Chain A
């Protein structure tokens, strides 16, 4: 992450722009909401994809999250960052969707489908063409990526979400604490347990 004065200035501009867009959205401006969506949809989509392990479900869920965000934007007082508020909605919606899908045996079917060596979205060359816009961003082998997703799917949703928010999305402990309504100590201990679980699951690949 960039930390120089220029990067800080750029972040501050981004926040100001975001705040302006949020203010316009609260007055019912849909174009501003479309712009806000453009800024956040990639992170939200990737988060939901990693949580659910399915692109179709991730797309549906991302739509629901943004529709819910637009419905609730009048209640957003600007006390927290917009992204923190948006992720709170995303977490609630994801929790509900996981419950819904679990009742329909979705994850059991998903894990059968994602067994290493079998056909999966990650082995589809057309799909992989869309992945990793910059070369340095993607050096993991396909099989390892499948294994990681498989391990994530096996983890409890609470552990999975905290791991993704911290180690993939890069939120700070304070932000996580606010999003999850937990004290920072609990966030830390949960994250450490989640990392240990993933480490154990990937043990053979890490040696």
Chain B
């Protein structure tokens, strides 16, 4: 019982935390109790061993490396002064933005207009690139068909002259051929025009020849359409976009 009491004082004695009186009592006990003395001796040696553990010298370059790291950090801080915003964040945001843009690009129809989306207008009507009213009329005059009409782009040098030539040519092919004409759909431009025509199958080569005479004709879309629909139709519906040279932006809008 007495030994246990003294054993509990070993650590305090070792740390010099026992009072003088308690220390004397403990020393007296240690002199007469071999078991306690052995335990005390072992503890004392343990502390001694720890205090005599060799001290390693830190590498000579340690300080220089730390100072270099601090310098590097200072440079990085100049380039990116926002301590609490991780440096990968802008890249992450850009990547997320790119993914969202690509997703929209794939999901939305190519003619989707963000401007009209946010202004609350009906995108489906604006897909033709006209005001809602004229688009509806246009669609009705085309028999309400939503099937895509192949487009031919006719690039001309002198727009007004070509326009006159085209008008007389289309009349000459045959009167009922020209089904629709929408000269005002060209985004208020005087250098572009959109014409919807329906031409009998047998007159189509003639129309192409005449168009080639007026300007440079891109008919690839019509050819693709004809290849994709090999059954002979009585009449071919198509859209002619007439533009002066250099009006690529207008071609894009008129294609819509």
Contacts and interface: CB of A to CB of B under 8 A. Distances in A.
A155 interface: no
Interface string A11-38: 0000000000000000000100110011
Contacts of B59: 59
A137 B46 contact: no
Nearest to A65: B66
B54 interface: yes
Interface string A124-159: 000000111100011110001100100000000000
A52 to B, nearest CB: 12
A131 B57 CA distance: 7
Interface in B1-56: 11, 15, 41-43, 45-47, 49-56
Contact of B58 (A41, A137, A140, A192): A41
Contact of B46 (A139, A188, A199, A207): A199
A168 B67 contact: no
A130 B62 contact: no
B46 A70 contact: no
Contact of A137 (B11, B54, B57): B54
A66 B66 contact: yes
Interface residues of B, number: 28
A206 B54 contact: no
Contacts of A63: 62, 65-66, 69
Nearest to B52: A140
Contacts of B46: 195, 198-199, 202, 206
Interface string A26-58: 000010011001100110011001100001000
Nearest to A189: B11
A133 B54 CA distance: 9
B57 A30 contact: no
Contacts of B15: 173
Given A148-B49, A168-B50, A198-B46, A62 B56 contact: no
B226 interface: no
B56 A59 contact: no
B70 interface: yes
Contacts of A90: none
A90 B232 CA distance: 86
SS class of chain B's interface: helix, strand, loop or mixed?
helix
B253 to A, nearest CB: 57
Contacts of A148: 49-50, 53
Interface in B151-198: none
B147 interface: no
B62 A34 contact: no
Contact of A131 (B41, B56, B65): B56
B54 A145 contact: yes
Given A59-B58, A67-B69, A195-B11, A140 B63 contact: no
Contacts of A174: none
A6 interface: no
A140 B54 contact: yes
Given A191-B11, A195-B47, A139 B62 contact: no
7 contacts: A33-B70, A34-B63, A49-B56, A140-B49, A140-B54, A168-B51, A168-B53
Given A46-B56, A195-B43, 8 more contacts: A34-B63, A133-B55, A144-B49, A148-B53, A188-B11, A192-B11, A195-B11, A206-B45
